[in-house]
């Protein structure tokens, strides 16, 4: 072989890897839309990544992420969702309540959406049914958590209670469902319910001023993305106003709150990660059933109970999934 032919062949061989790389498809991009903040959601994002990894996708290796955080300002969600649509992401993942899912669904009918869903997704119009969602959205819901059960647990914790205050975010579409459930449960338990609304940090302060004025025996905190974002403030206010409080998720007693009962947020985010991976592989949200929670956990913070002068019964401790000393 002539020297010129050898040089030409070597040059062509050296170019092969570059040509192969140039022909590789672009890495798919997931748009992650959340009504809260990155700092408040760090462990939940990790749970999502764990589920995504189970489905065969690892951020930075074979999938990229575009994060959009509303920082509790839900009026920003439509523009953030629209930005992800302009970015031509492969899938949009929404979390932090139904408002995030609704913003994404309003922004696109063609990009697939996987959501954590706070209430009944059928009643809110997000899907056609639990088993066959139809359209471009599916996900995992916290819908099956029992507000009535949490009220029962609060009554068991403070059996002499007569008045319970329930704290809601009036902007949350799940409010009506929770109010109806609590009203029915309070009649059965012989409790008088007071309702307080708070959708901003300043309104939380005002709500706890109402606690001082009306002196309820206990406080019921509704499941809500804004309250999750403000959990440290809520826990601090409950301690300052010395009122026994039950919360929807373990993150609250982990932060110093008294007691929680509800489904595991981390499990929901992990399932959303699994579904996202399956959709990236070609499955359709229309055919993926909305997943409902099957495990609920009771968490008690004994240090907080002691600070409030409460005696936790052996029966309650025996059924707790976690007791924080």
16-60 confidence digits (pLDDT tens): 454 444 445 689 999 999 999 999 899 999 999 999 999 999 999
pLDDT at 9 over 80: no
Report the mean per-residue pLDDT for the chain.
Answer: 90
d(CA 28, CA 179): 42
d(CA 249, CA 251): 5
What CATH number did the domain enclosing 167 receive?
Answer: 3.40.50.2300
Token readout for 292 is 């409902």
Domain match, 132 and 213 both = no
Query: pLDDT > 90: what percent of the chain?
Result: 76
Domain match, 179 and 315 both = yes
Domain match, 278 and 210 both = no
pLDDT at 131 over 60: yes
* pLDDT of amino acid 25: 61
pLDDT at 175 over 70: yes
What total of structural domains would you count in the chain?
A: 2
Query: What is the value of pTM for the model shown?
Result: 0.87
Domain match, 181 and 307 both = yes
Domain match, 157 and 223 both = yes
Residue 96 DSSP class: S
Q: Domain range spanning residue 87?
A: 29-144+265-295
For 19-56, b/e burial (b = at least 16 CB within 10 A) is eeeeeeeeeeebbbbbbbeeebbeebbebbbebbbebe
């Amino acid at each position: 072989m002539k020297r010129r032919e050898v040089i030409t062949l070597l040059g062509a061989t050296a170019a092969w890897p570059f040509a192969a790389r140039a022909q590789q498809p672009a890495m798919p991009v997931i748009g992650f839309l959340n009504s809260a903040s990155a700092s408040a959601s760090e462990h939940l994002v990790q749970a999502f990544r764990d589920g995504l990894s189970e489905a065969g996708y690892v951020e930075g290796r074979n999938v990229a992420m575009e994060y959009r955080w509303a920082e509790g300002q839900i009026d920003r969600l439509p523009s953030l969702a629209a930005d992800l649509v302009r970015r031509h992401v492969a899938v949009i993942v929404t979390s932090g309540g139904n408002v995030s899912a609704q913003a994404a669904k309003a922004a696109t009918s063609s990009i697939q959406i996987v959501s954590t869903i706070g209430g009944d997704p059928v009643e809110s119009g997000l899907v056609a049914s639990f088993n066959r969602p139809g359209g471009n959205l599916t996900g995992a819901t916290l819908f099956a958590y029992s507000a009535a059960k949490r009220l029962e647990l609060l009554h068991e914790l403070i059996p002499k209670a007569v008045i319970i205050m329930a704290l809601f975010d009036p902007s949350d579409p799940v409010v009506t469902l929770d109010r109806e459930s609590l009203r029915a449960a309070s009649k059965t338990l012989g409790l008088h319910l007071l309702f307080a609304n708070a959708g901003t940090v300043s309104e939380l302060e005002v709500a706890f001023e109402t606690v001082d004025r009306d002196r309820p025996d206990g406080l019921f905190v509704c499941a809500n993305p804004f309250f999750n974002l403000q959990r440290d403030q809520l826990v601090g206010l409950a301690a300052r106003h010395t009122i026994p409080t039950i919360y929807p998720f373990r993150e609250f007693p982990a932060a110093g709150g008294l007691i929680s009962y509800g489904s595991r947020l981390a499990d929901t985010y992990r399932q959303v990660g699994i579904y996202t991976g399956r959709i990236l592989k070609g499955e359709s949200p229309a055919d993926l059933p909305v997943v409902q929670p099957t495990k609920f956990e009771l968490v008690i913070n004994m240090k907080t109970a002691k600070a409030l002068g409460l005696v936790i019964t052996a029966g309650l401790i025996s059924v707790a999934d976690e007791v924080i000393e």
